[in-house]
Protein backbone atom coordinates (compact mmCIF):
# COMPACT_ATOMS: atom_id res chain seq x y z
CA UNK A 1 0.00 0.00 0.00
CA UNK A 2 1.36 3.42 -0.90
CA UNK A 3 0.54 6.69 0.83
CA UNK A 4 2.00 9.99 -0.40
CA UNK A 5 5.14 8.37 -1.69
CA UNK A 6 5.66 6.18 1.38
CA UNK A 7 5.11 2.49 1.59
CA UNK A 8 2.73 1.57 4.42
CA UNK A 9 3.41 -1.93 5.61
CA UNK A 10 1.37 -4.16 7.86
CA UNK A 11 3.82 -3.49 10.69
CA UNK A 12 3.25 0.25 10.33
CA UNK A 13 -0.53 -0.25 10.33
CA UNK A 14 -0.34 -2.41 13.46
CA UNK A 15 1.87 0.10 15.26
CA UNK A 16 -0.52 2.93 14.33
CA UNK A 17 -3.45 0.87 15.61
CA UNK A 18 -1.68 0.16 18.90
CA UNK A 19 -0.81 3.85 19.26
CA UNK A 20 -4.42 4.79 18.58
CA UNK A 21 -5.42 2.66 21.58
CA UNK A 22 -3.59 5.25 23.68
CA UNK A 23 -6.09 7.86 22.44
CA UNK A 24 -8.61 6.23 24.76
CA UNK A 25 -6.72 7.54 27.82
CA UNK A 26 -7.32 11.26 27.25
CA UNK A 27 -10.85 10.47 26.08
CA UNK A 28 -11.46 8.64 29.37
CA UNK A 29 -9.97 11.47 31.41
CA UNK A 30 -12.20 13.93 29.61
CA UNK A 31 -15.23 11.73 30.25
CA UNK A 32 -14.34 11.52 33.94
CA UNK A 33 -14.15 15.32 34.06
CA UNK A 34 -17.66 15.57 32.66
CA UNK A 35 -18.95 12.84 34.98
CA UNK A 36 -17.40 14.61 37.97
CA UNK A 37 -18.99 17.89 36.91
CA UNK A 38 -22.39 16.19 36.64
CA UNK A 39 -22.02 14.50 40.02
CA UNK A 40 -21.03 17.65 41.86
CA UNK A 41 -23.32 20.07 40.05
CA UNK A 42 -26.48 18.34 38.83
CA UNK A 43 -28.06 20.32 36.01
CA UNK A 44 -30.75 20.34 33.35
CA UNK A 45 -30.97 17.76 30.56
CA UNK A 46 -30.24 20.40 27.90
CA UNK A 47 -26.87 21.16 29.48
CA UNK A 48 -26.13 17.44 29.72
CA UNK A 49 -26.89 17.14 26.00
CA UNK A 50 -24.57 20.06 25.23
CA UNK A 51 -21.82 18.53 27.38
CA UNK A 52 -22.19 15.23 25.55
CA UNK A 53 -22.03 17.03 22.21
CA UNK A 54 -18.84 18.83 23.25
CA UNK A 55 -17.36 15.54 24.47
CA UNK A 56 -18.08 13.73 21.20
CA UNK A 57 -16.72 16.68 19.19
CA UNK A 58 -13.50 16.71 21.23
CA UNK A 59 -13.04 12.94 20.85
CA UNK A 60 -13.57 13.10 17.08
CA UNK A 61 -11.19 16.05 16.87
CA UNK A 62 -8.61 14.12 18.87
CA UNK A 63 -8.79 11.15 16.48
CA UNK A 64 -8.61 13.49 13.50
CA UNK A 65 -5.52 15.20 14.92
CA UNK A 66 -3.94 11.78 15.38
CA UNK A 67 -4.67 10.95 11.75
CA UNK A 68 -3.20 14.26 10.57
CA UNK A 69 -0.06 13.91 12.66
CA UNK A 70 0.79 10.22 12.47
CA UNK A 71 -1.11 8.69 9.56
CA UNK A 72 -0.46 11.24 6.86
CA UNK A 73 -4.07 12.42 6.81
CA UNK A 74 -5.48 9.05 5.69
CA UNK A 75 -8.27 8.05 8.07
CA UNK A 76 -8.77 4.34 8.65
CA UNK A 77 -11.50 2.73 10.74
CA UNK A 78 -8.94 0.99 12.94
CA UNK A 79 -7.82 4.32 14.42
CA UNK A 80 -11.31 5.06 15.73
CA UNK A 81 -11.71 1.43 16.83
CA UNK A 82 -8.39 1.61 18.68
CA UNK A 83 -9.49 4.77 20.47
CA UNK A 84 -12.77 3.07 21.47
CA UNK A 85 -10.88 0.04 22.77
CA UNK A 86 -8.56 2.30 24.75
CA UNK A 87 -11.57 4.15 26.19
CA UNK A 88 -13.19 0.85 27.17
CA UNK A 89 -10.02 -0.32 28.91
CA UNK A 90 -9.77 3.02 30.73
CA UNK A 91 -13.39 2.88 31.87
CA UNK A 92 -13.06 -0.71 33.12
CA UNK A 93 -9.90 0.06 35.10
CA UNK A 94 -9.27 3.67 36.14
CA UNK A 95 -12.80 4.92 35.42
CA UNK A 96 -14.37 2.32 37.72
CA UNK A 97 -12.03 3.27 40.56
CA UNK A 98 -12.73 6.97 39.98
CA UNK A 99 -16.49 6.41 40.06
CA UNK A 100 -16.21 4.62 43.43
CA UNK A 101 -14.13 7.50 44.77
CA UNK A 102 -16.59 9.99 43.30
CA UNK A 103 -19.46 8.19 45.01
CA UNK A 104 -17.68 8.52 48.35
CA UNK A 105 -16.89 12.18 47.69
CA UNK A 106 -20.53 12.84 46.78
CA UNK A 107 -21.70 11.17 50.02
CA UNK A 108 -19.21 13.22 52.04
CA UNK A 109 -20.33 16.45 50.36
CA UNK A 110 -23.97 15.53 50.95
CA UNK A 111 -23.28 14.80 54.63
CA UNK A 112 -21.32 18.03 55.02
CA UNK A 113 -24.01 20.10 53.34
CA UNK A 114 -26.67 18.42 55.51
CA UNK A 115 -24.67 19.22 58.62
CA UNK A 116 -24.20 22.84 57.53
CA UNK A 117 -27.93 23.14 56.77
CA UNK A 118 -28.82 21.76 60.21
CA UNK A 119 -26.41 24.16 61.92
CA UNK A 120 -27.74 27.07 59.87
CA UNK A 121 -31.32 26.09 60.66
CA UNK A 122 -30.55 25.91 64.39
CA UNK A 123 -28.77 29.26 64.29
CA UNK A 124 -31.59 30.89 62.34
CA UNK A 125 -34.20 29.30 64.60
CA UNK A 126 -32.36 30.57 67.70
CA UNK A 127 -32.07 34.10 66.33
CA UNK A 128 -35.68 34.11 65.16
CA UNK A 129 -36.85 32.89 68.58
CA UNK A 130 -35.01 35.72 70.32
CA UNK A 131 -36.33 38.35 67.93
CA UNK A 132 -39.94 37.22 67.91
CA UNK A 133 -40.05 36.24 71.58
CA UNK A 134 -39.22 39.80 72.65
CA UNK A 135 -41.93 41.26 70.47
CA UNK A 136 -44.56 38.80 71.62
CA UNK A 137 -43.85 39.39 75.33
CA UNK A 138 -44.51 43.09 74.90
CA UNK A 139 -48.04 42.42 73.75
CA UNK A 140 -49.00 39.92 76.45
CA UNK A 141 -51.05 41.05 79.43
CA UNK A 142 -51.49 39.60 82.87
CA UNK A 143 -55.26 39.98 82.76
CA UNK A 144 -56.60 36.52 83.38
CA UNK A 145 -60.22 37.55 83.51
CA UNK A 146 -62.41 36.19 80.78
CA UNK A 147 -64.19 38.90 78.83
CA UNK A 148 -66.87 36.75 77.31
CA UNK A 149 -69.54 34.59 78.90
CA UNK A 150 -69.72 36.50 82.15
CA UNK A 151 -72.60 35.42 84.24
CA UNK A 152 -74.52 37.89 86.23
Using CA atoms in the order 131, 133, 138, 142, what is the torsion angle rounded to 10 degrees?
180
Per-residue confidence (pLDDT) for residue 2, from 0 to 100: 46
Q: Give the residue extent of every domain in the chain.
A: 2-98
pLDDT at 59 exceeding the cut of 80: yes
pLDDT higher than 70, residue 134? no
Region 3-28: what's the mean pLDDT?
83
Residues in the chain: 152
* Helices 24-40 and 96-139, axial angle in degrees (round to 10): 10
Q: What is residue 116's predicted lDDT score, i.e. its pLDDT? A: 82
Count Cβ atoms within 10 A of the Cβ of residue 120 and give its class: 0-12 exposed, 13-18 middle, 19 or more buried.
exposed
Query: Under a CB-based contact definition with an 8 Å cutoff, are residues 42 and 48 in contact?
Result: no
> What is the rounded distance in angstroms from the CA atom of residue 79 to the CA atom of residue 17?
6
Predicted confidence (pLDDT) per residue in 34-43, tens digit: 988 888 887 8
> What's the rounded mean pLDDT across residues 122-132?
74
Q: Higher-confidence residue: 48 or 2?
A: 48
Give the whole-angstrom CA distance, residue 11 versus residue 22. 17
Question: Alpha helices, DSSP H only, in the chain?
Answer: 10-21, 24-40, 45-70, 77-90, 96-139
The answer on pLDDT for 1 being more than 50 is no
- Is pLDDT larger for residue 65 or for residue 129? 65
The DSSP bridge pattern shows strands 2-3 and 6-7 to be: antiparallel
At residue 123 the predicted structure's pLDDT band, cuts being 50, 70 and 90, is confident
> Is residue 53 scored above 80 in pLDDT?
yes
Average pLDDT of span 44-50: 91
Amino acid sequence: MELQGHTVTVAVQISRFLCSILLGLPAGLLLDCFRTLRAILPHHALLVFLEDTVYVFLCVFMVQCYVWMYAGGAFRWQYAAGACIGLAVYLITVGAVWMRMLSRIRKAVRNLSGMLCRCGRRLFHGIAEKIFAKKSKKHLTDDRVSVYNKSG
